[in-house]
Amino acid sequence: MRNRILPLLFLSLSATTPAWAIPESVLTTPAGGAQNDEDRSKQDYNDGLALAEKGDQSISTADAASDDAARGLALESAHAHYEAARQKFQDAAKLNPGLPGAWNMIGYTERRLGNHDAALAAYERALALNPNYAQAIEYRAEAYLGLNRIEDAKQAYLDLFASNRALSDQLLAAMQKWVSTHRKSPGNVAGATVKELDRWVQERGKIAAKTASLTRAGVAASWQ
C-alpha cells in the first residue's frame, strides 16, 4: 500500500477533467458479438470506455470522501479501472492501429495514471490519424499541463477556442485547477509562472464570456 501512495495522490491531483467527462461515442458492433479484428477492436474499445468511466466515478468518490481511508480506497479503485481500461484500448489499437479513438483513450488513461509522456505519444498517434481530432487536442493539452508545458497548453486553448468552444472551456477549467494546485504546492514551478497563467486564464475567461453568445457553438458551450 505504501508504495502506491505517491502514484495515487498524483492520480487525484492530475484528474483535471470533470468526472463523467469522457465524450467518446460507443462504437457499433454486430449483433451476436465481435466477428473479425475490426469488430473485436470496437468491442475492446467499448469495454475500455466503460472501465474508464468507472475510473472517473471513483475519482469523484475520492474527491467527496470524508476521511483518508475512504479516499485511499476510492483512488485504488480508480487506479485499477484506469489500468484495465488502458489494456482494453491497447488491445483495440493492436487489432486496428487506424482507430484514432483507441489511441486517444490510451492517452487518456495514461494521463490519469500520471504517465504524461506516454500519454503525449498516444495523442500524437491519434492526431496523426485525424489532425482535427478536437478531443485529442484537449486531452494532449492537459498532458502538457501535467508536464508544466504551459505555452503548449495555451496554444492548444487558442486553437480550440476557434474551433470547439465546449472543449476550450474544459481546458480553461483544467488550467484553473493547475493554478490552484500549484499555488498550494508549487513544486519546481516558479511562482511567477503560476501568477502569469492565473492572469492569462482570467483574461481568457472574460473574453470567452463576452463572445459566448456570438456563435451557435459559443451558446452551446456556455451551457456545458
pLDDT of residue 35: 76
Model confidence at 223, in pLDDT bands (50, 70, 90)? very low
Q: What is the pTM of this model?
A: 0.81
pLDDT, average across residues 74-90 = 97
pLDDT of residue 179: 97
Quickly count: other Cβ atoms within 10 Å of residue 14's Cβ: 24
Alpha-carbon distance of 11 to 30, in angstroms, equals 36
pLDDT, average across residues 21-27 = 56
pLDDT of residue 26: 65
Model confidence at 15, in pLDDT bands (50, 70, 90)? very low
Buried b (16+ CB within 10 A) or exposed e, 129-145: beeebbbbbbbbbbbbb
Checking if the pLDDT of 213 tops 50, the result is: yes
Please enumerate in sequence order all residues whose Cβ is within 8 A of that of 6, keeping only pairs 6 or more positions apart, or say none: none
Question: In the CATH scheme, what is the code of domain 1-144?
Answer: 1.25.40.10
Q: Are 153 and 171 in contact (CB under 8 A)?
A: yes
Please enumerate in sequence order all residues whose Cβ is within 8 A of that of 79, keeping only pairs 6 or more positions apart, or say none: 4, 7, 8, 11, 55, 113
Q: What is the pLDDT of residues 99-142, one digit of tens each?
A: 999 999 999 999 999 999 999 999 999 999 999 999 999 999 99
Q: Are 16 and 177 in contact (CB under 8 A)?
A: yes
Domain ranges of the chain: 1-144, 148-224
Checking if the pLDDT of 34 tops 60, the result is: no
Max distance between CA atoms of the chain, in angstroms, equals 58
Checking if the pLDDT of 31 tops 50, the result is: yes
pLDDT of residue 214: 58
pLDDT, average across residues 141-148 = 96
- What is the 8-class DSSP label of residue 151? H
Q: What angle do CA 48, 49, 55 make, to 5 degrees?
A: 90
